[in-house]
Amino acid sequence: MAMNQTIKQLTDHVSVRAFKDTPLTDSQKETLVTAARSGSSSNFVQAFSIIDISDAALRSELAAITNSAPYVNQTGVFYVFVADLYRQATLLEANGESLAGIQSMESLMVSIVDTTIAAQNMAVAAESLDLGICYIGGIRNDIDKVAKLLDLPPFTVPVFGLTIGHPVSKNNPKPRMPQKNQVAENHYPREQFANLGAYEEQTAAYYAKRGVNAQETSWSEKNILFFKEVRRPEVAEFLKKQGFLLA
Ligand SMILES: Cc1cc2nc3c(=O)[nH]c(=O)nc-3n(C[C@H](O)[C@H](O)[C@H](O)COP(=O)(O)O)c2cc1C
């Protein structure tokens, strides 16, 4: 396997959950948003927006929603990434066109993918500057309130936050699933992909021994707990309220 600085940075990735109380400079933020805005975009629709939550009171209201308050409040910057087809809706309306093409499930998927690519570009850029990052899907714990707090228009969805700052501490990278469970040639090998084998022991050992938040669990156990109930069922209602048909 080839190794260079970029690949090393990618394979060394860990989420950071403790930041110094040092705001990023305007120049650092300019670099980060430029990286985010430079990603690939489906049909070049650029269907995302980025909101810098610079107001401390607003940040703390958002933080309270996330279950990740300490590292949303104390960080270098907190961005909310918004899947966004409002601009296109405005264009279509001004031209007397139907909004059906924006309301579709496919368009929603396009906007969420564009948003995610932008955020990951920003994350990689931040790590190259020796900053730490953590995605904050916890904003969807109360997606309605987040939309109200940010004054979001129709055809927008707050997908996640990204907290970025100077790390106080960093965990060791989490062991990823073996390649044979995720990568194949030509066809989907059901048994090979679903049989996690040694990964169970590897993750049990990782969770038992890690310095912060050690637990007696494994990857499978965590995933059963995570998916055995429907999480955030109100998200679908929110998406409909924003104008998406989910069809
Ligand atoms: C879309 C998304 C949302 C996430 N939301 C949260 C969150 O709300 N709080 C948190 O502490 N970590 C969050 N994470 C971080 C994941 O827990 C983390 O990426 C995962 O456990 C793998 O660990 P690593 O990033 O250190 O390799 C999120 C990650 C992603 C991709």
Residue 211 has pLDDT above 90, yes or no: no
> So what's the pLDDT on residue 208?
94
**247's tokens:** 């069809």
Verify whether ligand 1 is closer than 6 Å to residue 174 (CB atom).
Answer: yes
Verify whether ligand 1 is closer than 6 Å to residue 69 (CB atom).
Answer: no
Q: What percent of the chain has pLDDT over 90?
A: 97
Q: What is the pLDDT of residues 111-146, one digit of tens each?
A: 999 999 999 999 999 999 999 999 999 999 999 999
Nearest atom, ligand 1, residue 17 CA: 11
Residue 71 within any structural domain of the chain: yes
What is the rounded distance in angstroms from the CA atom of residue 210 to the CA atom of residue 56?
33
Residue 211 within any structural domain of the chain: no
> So what's the pLDDT on residue 213?
87
- Residue to substitute in 127, 134, 174 for testing ligand 1 pocket (most ligand atoms within 8 angstroms of CB): 134
Grade residue 12 by pLDDT with cuts at 50, 70 and 90: very high
CA distances from 87 to 45, 46, 79, 84, 161 (A): 10, 10, 20, 7, 21
Q: What percent of the chain has pLDDT over 70?
A: 100
Residue 1 within any structural domain of the chain: no
Considering only CA atoms, which residue is closest to atom 27 of ligand 1? 14
Mean pLDDT, range 150-172, rounded to an integer: 97
> So what's the pLDDT on residue 135?
99
Considering only CA atoms, which residue is closest to atom 6 of ligand 1? 136
Residue 81 within any structural domain of the chain: yes
> So what's the pLDDT on residue 122?
99
- The CATH number of the domain holding residue 159 is 3.40.109.10
Q: How many domains does the chain have?
A: 1
Q: What is the pLDDT of residues 17-31, one digit of tens each?
A: 999 999 999 999 999
Residue 217 within any structural domain of the chain: no
The 3 state secondary structure assigned to the chain is CCCCHHHHHHHCCCCCCCECCCCCCHHHHHHHHHHHHCCCCHHHCCCEEEEECCCHHHHHHHHHHHCCHHHHHCCCEEEEEEEECHHHHHHHHHCCCCCHHHHCHHHHHHHHHHHHHHHHHHHHHHHHCCCEEEEEHHHHHHHHHHHHHCCCCCCEEEEEEEEEECECCCCCCCCCCCHHHCCCCCCCCHHHHHCCCHHHHHHHHHHHHCCCCCCCCCHHHHHHHHHCCCCCCHHHHHHHHCCCCCC
In angstroms, what is the span from residue 134 Cα to ligand 1's centroid? 6
Residue 213 within any structural domain of the chain: no
> So what's the pLDDT on residue 212?
84
Residue 197 within any structural domain of the chain: no
Residue 55 within any structural domain of the chain: yes
Nearest atom, ligand 1, residue 15 CA: 26
User: What is the domain extent for residue 54?
Assistant: 11-171+235-241
In angstroms, what is the span from residue 96 Cα to ligand 1's centroid? 42
Q: What is the pLDDT of residues 59-93, one digit of tens each?
A: 999 999 999 999 999 999 999 999 999 999 999 99
What is the rounded distance in angstroms from the CA atom of residue 171 to the CA atom of residue 214?
12
Verify whether ligand 1 is closer than 6 Å to residue 141 (CB atom).
Answer: no
Verify whether ligand 1 is closer than 6 Å to residue 14 (CB atom).
Answer: yes
In angstroms, what is the span from residue 122 Cα to ligand 1's centroid? 15
Can you say whether the dihedral through the CA atoms of 160, 102, 147, 125 is positive or negative? positive
